[in-house]
Amino acid sequence: MEHYNIAQGLADMAARAPFRPGIILPAGRDPHGRSKFVQLSFRQMDELCDRYAHGLSAQGVVRGRRVLMLVRPGTELIAVCFALLKIGAVPVLIDPGMGLKAFLQCVSEAAPQAMIAIPVGHLIRRLFGKSFKTVQRSFTVGRRAFPGTLHLERVCPARRDAFPVADTALEEEAAIAFTSGGTGVPKGVLYLHGMFREVIRAMREDLDMAEGEVHLAAMYIFALFNPALGVTTVIPDMDARKTAQVNPAWLVEAIQTHGVTMSMGSPTIWKKVNRYCLDNGIRLPSIKHIFIFGAPVAPAVIRELSSLFDGGKACTPYGATEALPVTNIAHDEILGETAAKTENGAGVCVGRPVSGVTLRIIPVSDDIIEAWDDALALPTGAIGEVVVKGAMVTREYLNRPQETAKAKIYAPDGVWHRMGDIGYLDEKGRLWFCGRKAHRVETEHGMMLPVPCESIFNRHPKVARAALVGVGEQGKQRPVLIVELLPEHARADAASKAAIVKELLELGAAHEHTRAIKDVLFHPAFPVDIRHNAKIQRQELARWAAKGL
C-alpha cells in the first residue's frame, strides 16, 4: 500500500534548509510608515508544528478526527494545519465570509469532533451550539482562552523532539474545504492524501514552482502548500475579506523587501498593483511568475502586468476547489495568440490541461449523468460543458449525495468532475472559457454565454465591466446587459447615459452573438464574491434586473 503525507514536506525542509525563512508576517509599521515583520525559519516552523502535534494528540485529537479550523492567516494557521496532518487528523476549512447561515450549515455537514479557533469563533459556537454539537474538544488560539476551552499554547509542551508523521494511505481523508457557493449552496470537498500528492506534483512540474522560491500569499489558502514545496511564505499586509481595498504600495513593498518570486491572487488585486507600478515607474524584477485566477482575466491586465517583469511570466491557470490545477497558460501565448480573439468575443483561453488531467466537452445539461460514455465527448470547436478527470480530481461532496450525483460522472478508470462551466477546445487542445453553466441565458433563439458577450461591451472606454443576465423563464429569457461605469463616468446625467446606451447597442449590433441584446441597465457597483472579490454574482444581478425592467 502506498503512503503519502504532505506534512512530511515541512520536516524534510527543516532538515534540508533549516535556517531558510519559512514564513514572514507583517508586524505593523514604523513611524515612517515602513513595514515591520517577523519571520520563522523552516526549522522553527517544524518545531512549532511538532509542539502543537504533541499537545493536540495528548488531548485526544487523533488520526482520522475532523478538526474545524477558524484561525486567521499566519503562522498558527499553517503550523496547526500541518500539526493535524502529522497526526493524521483532518483539518476542516470554511470561509466565514460566505455568511452566517451558510457557514453554520457547513459546520453541521462537516460534523467536526474538535475545534481550534480564535475567540470570536468560539463565541459563534456558544450562540449557535446546534451546528457544533459534534465538537468534543475546543482550543483557543490567541492571548486568552475562551471560557470553556483549552488554550492551545498551554496544552502544548515545551518539547523539541520530532512528532512522528503519520504514514497515511493515499485513500485516507486529508482535509475538507468548502466551496464558496457562488452559484449554489457551499459544498464540502473531501481531499484524500493521494490528491494532495498530485496537486504538489502538478505545482512543481506544470506550474514550475521550485524549492527556494518566495511566495506573496495574496490568496492565503494556497500558502498551505508552501512548506511541502519548500517555498517561503510572505503573508501580505491586507485584509483577505476586502481585496478590493488592498493597498498596492504595501504589496509592492513586500515584493521588493523579500525578493518575492511568485504570487497567486485574483484579478482585482493585480489590477491595483498594475496601476500603482505604472503610475510610479516601478518594475518587479524579482518576479518569476504570477498566477491570476478566480475570474476571467482581461488581456489588458495581462499586458500591463507582464510589462513590469524582467523575464517573469503572468499566468492564468484554471481550476476549482474540486479540481486544481486543471489548465495553465502564460502571458506570451495570451498576448501573441489569444487576446485579440478574446476581445472579439471568442471567450477567454485558459490554456492546455496540465499533465495527468483529461479534459472533455460534453453537451450542456442540468440532468444527472450516472456513467461515462465516450460518445458524450463533443468535437473540437463545439461549445459545451467542461468535464475533467485526474488523480487530483475530488470524488464526492461531504454528506451531499444529490450534489455529488449532479457533479460526478463515474467511469471504470476514475471519476469525471463536471466543472459547472461552459467552453470549448480549440485545434491546439486549449480550453476556452465562456462562463458558468448557471449563468447561461436561454432565449427563444438559442443559448447566449456571458464571457463572449461581455467582452464586446467591456471594450467601451466608459465601461468598468459588463454583465449579461437573463430575465424570465428559461428557454424564453430576455437577454439584458447590465453595466457598471468607470468611477469618473458613474455620475453621468440621463442624456450622457442615453448616449452610452446607444453606443453599446451599436457595438452589440456589430457582432452576431450580441445582436439580440436590446436592453441596457446601469448598476452602481456589481455584487461580487467574498473569496476573490472578482466573480460577478450574475444571479443576484438578474433578480435586480427583473425588478428594473
| Domain spans, the chain | 8-26+42-207, 346-439, 443-548
pLDDT score for 343: 94
pLDDT score for 183: 66
> Cα dist. 256→234, 249, 287 in Å?
12, 11, 10
Homologous superfamily (CATH) for 443-548: ANL, C-terminal domain (3.30.300.30)
Interatomic CA distance for residues 296 and 452, integer angstroms: 11
pLDDT score for 531: 60
CATH tag for 346-439 (out of 3.40.50.11540, 2.30.38.10, 3.30.420.310, 2.40.30.10): 2.30.38.10
pLDDT score for 118: 96
Contact 157, 55 (CB under 8 A): yes
C-alpha cell belonging to residue 120: 470570536
pLDDT score for 157: 83
Interatomic CA distance for residues 354 and 11, integer angstroms: 28
User: For 512-546, what is each residue's pLDDT tens digit?
Assistant: 999 999 999 999 999 887 665 678 999 999 999 99
Residue with cell 463565541: 123
User: For 376-433, what is each residue's pLDDT tens digit?
Assistant: 999 999 999 999 999 999 999 999 999 999 999 999 999 999 999 999 999 999 999 9
Taking Cα atoms as reference points, which of 170, 191, 164 lies closest to residue 2?
Answer: 170
Strands (E) in 293-329, as ranges, are 313-315, 318-320, 323-328
Taking Cα atoms as reference points, which of 362, 338, 368 lies closest to residue 352?
Answer: 338
Please, where are the H alpha helices in 296-442? 299-306, 331-333, 339-343, 401-407
Residue with cell 455537514: 109
pTM of the model: 0.94
Interatomic CA distance for residues 236 and 404, integer angstroms: 36
Segments in the chain below pLDDT 50: none
Taking Cα atoms as reference points, which of 174, 1, 150, 158 lies closest to residue 81?
Answer: 174
User: For 186-199, what is each residue's pLDDT tens digit?
Assistant: 999 999 999 999 99
pLDDT score for 82: 96
Question: What fold characterizes domain 8-26+42-207?
Answer: Rossmann fold (3.40.50)
Residues 6+ away with beta carbon under 8 Å from 542: 469, 470, 471, 480
